[in-house]
Amino acid sequence: MHWFALVLSGALEAVWATALAESDRFRRRVPAVVFALALTVSMGGLAFAMTGLPTGTSYAVWVGIGAVGTVVLSVARGRERLDVTRAVLLLVLICCVIGLKAAS
């Protein structure tokens, strides 16, 4: 259950980061509300995950999922381009997240 909460809260990190960028410094209401809700649930999920998982591993996995998810959302929405170098580095990051889970 802790790992599920961690993965979900990491995915919500990508949502709140994307919504923050879309909020135009909180001038756009819907993205600002999405940001606040996703941030709250994401932090709550991370806090819950840390009750049953090591703190360092939890935070690293949360950040990794959020970082990769944010890039994927940005690419899917046409806000960023994904070149070979960035794709390889994201793959390395994903492998590191999987390695951290396997090691804990």
Give per-residue pLDDT as tens, 24-35: 999 999 999 999
The whole-angstrom separation of Cα 102 and Cα 60 is: 13
pLDDT in tens, 56-66: 989 999 999 99
Interval 94-100 mean pLDDT: 89
pTM of the model: 0.89
Instruction: Indicate the average pLDDT of the chain.
Output: 95
Interval 25-51 mean pLDDT: 98
User: In whole angstroms, how far apart are CA 74 and each of 17, 78, 101, 103?
Assistant: 10, 6, 26, 30
Q: Which two tokens stand for residue 74?
A: 């940005």
Residue 65 pLDDT: 94
Percent of the chain with pLDDT over 90: 90
Residue scoring higher pLDDT (100 or 14) = 14
